[in-house]
Structure 1
């Protein structure tokens, strides 16, 4: 408990809010790298995932690429890209690393969201005379949005966790207290930094979880609620 008390004291010290490594500055750096990386990854992965989900072509390639990207160690990838880009382009190398790590979850969320839709719904939309563009925008996109937001949620949390190692290459972020505190044996500082990263991830996860629930179309929410009520009534009558 003393370590947690020391970590809390470190977090609330006035010194943590002054200078180049003030906690608000580190938090803003962490969020900046996260937002930029996820946005760039979304611009690449979401259209590709929608195309795969709508046409049904290229799924095997997407699955293979996503699996390979998930297997790459993030720290090793970042160090490799820093060496390739050069020491003057460390921020660009870090952003490319985070983008590559965010793409698999976004790609999977985009194409599985469309492929999970009952084909009878798509056929019915086409039978009413909808064009392929109308089918996508009015049927596939709304129904596939919850899984896409789920992919965004997973990608964002992974990037938040990975941005922590950006401090190894002197890019700041909430990982800086952890990286600096380990060799100095400042375990209160290390724990304080870890708490900040965990709290940030938890807050973002709660926000995106709420967004994922809100993305479910109203009709599906009503249908799901009615189905649960029928199951509950059936279980009560059988007991």
Structure 2
């Protein structure tokens, strides 16, 4: 039996989907880790990007610093965190590494979206007597929403693909299926695990694209 056929056989064996080590449980762990890291990344990156984009100061430096951070492999960050005192904090080394990985696309897209707002609209809002916070939340942020949502989508898909590193730190997720396959010298299981991760990433991408298309015109960046 060739590898692809054996991998399909692994995926279609019901026993591999049940129990603590089964696909359903690992998928739930992977989804939970992705959602937590995405929420934390948004909480860190979006307020900074919105404020800097509104002020028009310091944003370029913040974006460049975050993009430099993208050059550092997430696995290397995880290893350094595991070797530090943070390594004793349970799943936090993995979460911190993934959050740092997801921040750059969120920060970059949100900042670019804010700076791309039509300045005639901003000046008109200022002329109407709007305060800085009113312009930020009622004018600039809504107009920047399409790019902000694009950043969230990119970060979510990247997190799904990269969250497999949790298995290297003893965490859960679909990465455990891949590492278990390596430990068992089972190439079909490794391939099956990789297929599951890729399929999950494609599903997340499709959900975000569909949600954005179904959103109001202003959230799609469309005038009608």
> Normalising by the residue count of structure 1, what TM-score does the alignment of the two structures yield?
0.86
| Contact map agreement 1:146 1:215 (CA 8 A) in 2 | no
Q: For 1:196-215, what aligned pairs fall within 5 Å after superposition?
A: 196-213=196-213, 214=215
Residue 75 (structure 2) pairs with residue 79 (structure 1): no
| Shift, 1:219, TM fit | 9.7
| Shift, 1:89, TM fit | 2.1
Distance 2:79 2:114 in 1: 36
Distance 2:204 2:219 in 1: 24
After superposing on structure 2, the runs of 4+ consecutive aligned residues of structure 1 that deviate more than 4 Å are none
Gaps in structure 1 of 5+ consecutive residues:
224-239
| Contact map agreement 1:85 1:93 (CA 8 A) in 2 | no
| Contact map agreement 2:212 2:219 (CA 8 A) in 1 | no
| Contact map agreement 1:177 1:189 (CA 8 A) in 2 | yes
Gaps in structure 2 of 5+ consecutive residues:
none
| Shift, 1:143, TM fit | 0.7
Quickly say closer, same or farther: Cα 1:81–1:218, change in 2 above 3 A: closer
Correspondence for 2:192: 192
Quickly say closer, same or farther: Cα 1:62–1:212, change in 2 above 3 A: farther
| Shift, 1:218, TM fit | 7.5
CA RMSD of aligned residues (A): 2.0
Secondary structure at the counterpart of residue 117 of structure 2: coil
Determine which structure has the larger helix proportion and give its number.
1
Correspondence for 2:37: 37
Correspondence for 1:150: 150
Distance 2:211 2:62 in 1: 26
| Contact map agreement 2:146 2:220 (CA 8 A) in 1 | no
| Contact map agreement 1:34 1:159 (CA 8 A) in 2 | yes
Quickly say closer, same or farther: Cα 1:128–1:94, change in 2 above 3 A: same
Distance 1:6 1:188 in 2: 5
> Normalising by the residue count of structure 2, what TM-score does the alignment of the two structures yield?
0.92
| Shift, 1:51, TM fit | 0.5
Correspondence for 2:63: 63
Distance 2:47 2:103 in 1: 11
Distance 1:23 1:222 in 2: 43
- 1:135-171: CA deviations, max 9, x gaps? 2222111110110111111111111111112111221
Q: Which has the larger radius of gyration?
A: 1
Number of residue pairs the alignment of both structures matches = 223
Distance 1:218 1:51 in 2: 20
- Report the more deviating stretch, 83-92 or 174-183: 83-92
